[in-house]
Amino acid sequence: MSEAAPAPLDLRTVLGPLELRSPVVTASGTFGYGIEYDGLVDFSRLGAVVVKGLTLEPREGSPPPRICETPSGMLNSIGLENPGVEVFIAEKLPWLVERDVPVIANLNGGTVEEYAQLARRLGDAPGVVAVEANISCPNVDHGGMEFGKDPAQTARVVGAVREATELPLIVKLSPNVTDIVAIARAAVESGANVLSLINTLLGMSIDIFSRRPRLARGKGGLSGPAIKPVAIRMVWEVRRALPEVPLIGMGGILTGADAVEFMLAGASAVAVGTGSFVTPSAANQVLDGLIEYGRHLKLRSLAELVGGVIL
């Protein structure tokens, strides 16, 4: 008598009011607007595409050079180059809608009101299932990370976005703070449904022959495997302090094993960022690895992994 086939692994992921078909999403700023990966990624297997950061008006971004490789990672100072929210809605978003992939819009502003205006404008945009308030970008002169370093400022931005939209609200946290739990708590108390962490760590690289920084702005955001231990520690700290709050973990995820670490630390979902530059299909491969691990353990749902670290 043959053995019964194992029950299918449940990939559904619940992030507060937001339900995704899988726990693997793309990280903003590393996946463009999706079309850049056409033919390279199976979009039907992604939980969502988190699009490149949006602002009210078009931005040219930082001057070059604005990317450089580092040991086990990269530095960038792109500076939120984007065509502006109106062009995104009219020209970029339809391609994703045609492919039936959930879209999470990443919001960036220089003022509290700019964040709120973006949230209002995207509230009824087709295909947009959530907004992610980016209060942690290190590569702009105004706004961004300045709002994510102080709990009171965090509360102002998050509260304004919460009032401006009924969409699920994700807040992206900066690691460049003394106490990430204090920032996380301020975001949640002001209306955040989900927290995503971490954004890039501030870093710098110098050409020893020219004696000039390798980035035109001098400093930039460090991403890739080099930051993974920091990211996992911060996910764990926030999960321990706010166990009921859904988390999206990111920072150096290249494999299914990396994703498992984040989920054990407390992340309900994971975002693949720099890994997509190295291997365009990285998000699909990470999901494959998660499925293989889940089946090996005979799990019924990947959600069983969340917060399962043994201390």
Question: Is 69 domain-assigned?
Answer: no
Structure pTM? 0.96
Q: Which residue numbers in the chain have pLDDT < 70?
A: 1-6, 138-144
pLDDT at 142: 57
Question: Is 46 domain-assigned?
Answer: yes
Question: Is 51 domain-assigned?
Answer: yes
Q: Show the 3-state SS of the chain.
A: CCCCCCCCCECCEEECCEEECCCEEECCCCCCCCHHHCCCCCHHHCCEEECCCECCCCECCCCCCCEEEECCEEEECCCCCECCHHHHHHHHHHHHHHCCCCEEEEECCCCHHHHHHHHHHHCCCCCEEEEEEECCCCCCCCCHHHHHCCHHHHHHHHHHHHHHCCCCEEEECCCCCCCHHHHHHHHHHCCCCEEEECCCEEEECEECCCCEECCCCCEEEEECHHHHHHHHHHHHHHHHHCCCCCEEEECCCCCHHHHHHHHHHCCCEEEECCHHHHCCCHHHHHHHHHHHHHHHCCCCEHHHHCCCCCC
pLDDT at 95: 98
Q: Is position 68 annotated as part of the catalytic site?
A: no
Question: Is 212 domain-assigned?
Answer: no
Identify the CATH number of the domain in which residue 163 sits: 3.20.20.70
Active-site position among 51, 131, 137, 269: 137
The domain tally of the chain equals: 1
Question: Is 122 domain-assigned?
Answer: yes
Per-residue pLDDT tens digits for 290-301: 999 999 999 999
Question: Is 91 domain-assigned?
Answer: yes
pLDDT at 227: 99
Question: Is 70 domain-assigned?
Answer: no
Residue with tokens 């460049």: 176
Interatomic CA distance for residues 144 and 130, integer angstroms: 19
pLDDT at 143: 62
Question: Is 5 domain-assigned?
Answer: no
Look up residue 50 and give its amino acid. V
pLDDT at 136: 83
pLDDT at 173: 98
Domain coverage including residue 102: 13-62+78-204+220-305
